[in-house]
Amino acid sequence: MSNIEQTLSIIKPDAVERNLSEKIKEIFLKNKLKILESKKIKLSVEEASEFYKVHQTKPFYNNLCKYLSSGPIIAMILEGEDAILKNRKLMGATDPKKADENTIRKMYGLSIDKNSVHGSDSPDNAKKEIDFFFNN
């Protein structure tokens, strides 16, 4: 049975700054993820804190919010068969050092913070994260 889903992807400041956006978008397209929407924006630290509020109790929360708001990012809605899991497989593990070969984070990530991309981890979060960037 087909399971067409939408997920939110973010190209983070480290990757935008290094002009990797087109290369990353090509990886999605090659893997049959359509890019339904794409916008380049810079979040305030308050907006980044709202976006990452599921992590608010974590020790890395403040740094994470500062980092996401440190420069332009590209937010995208990806759509395709099992898009949520597919995107997570294409990204690889959170820590680039632990990511599999040929994943985005292995190829481009600099550190666990500057790990180049974000992707929703569940259907519920995908909906919330898409709404955050595209339905206001």
Binding site for ligand CMP (CB under 6 A): 55, 60, 64, 94, 112-113, 115, 118
Structural tokens at position 104: 């985005």
What is the smallest separation between the CB atom of 2 and ligand CMP, expressed in angstroms? 27
Structural tokens at position 40: 């380049």
**Are 54 and 125 spatial neighbours (Cβ–Cβ below 8 Å)?**
yes
What is the smallest separation between the CB atom of 117 and ligand CMP, expressed in angstroms? 8
What is the smallest separation between the CB atom of 51 and ligand CMP, expressed in angstroms? 9
d(CA 88, CA 108): 15
55 classed as catalytic: no
Q: Which residue is nearest to ligand CMP (CB)?
A: 118
CA 72 to chain centroid: 13
Q: What residues are labeled active site?
A: 118
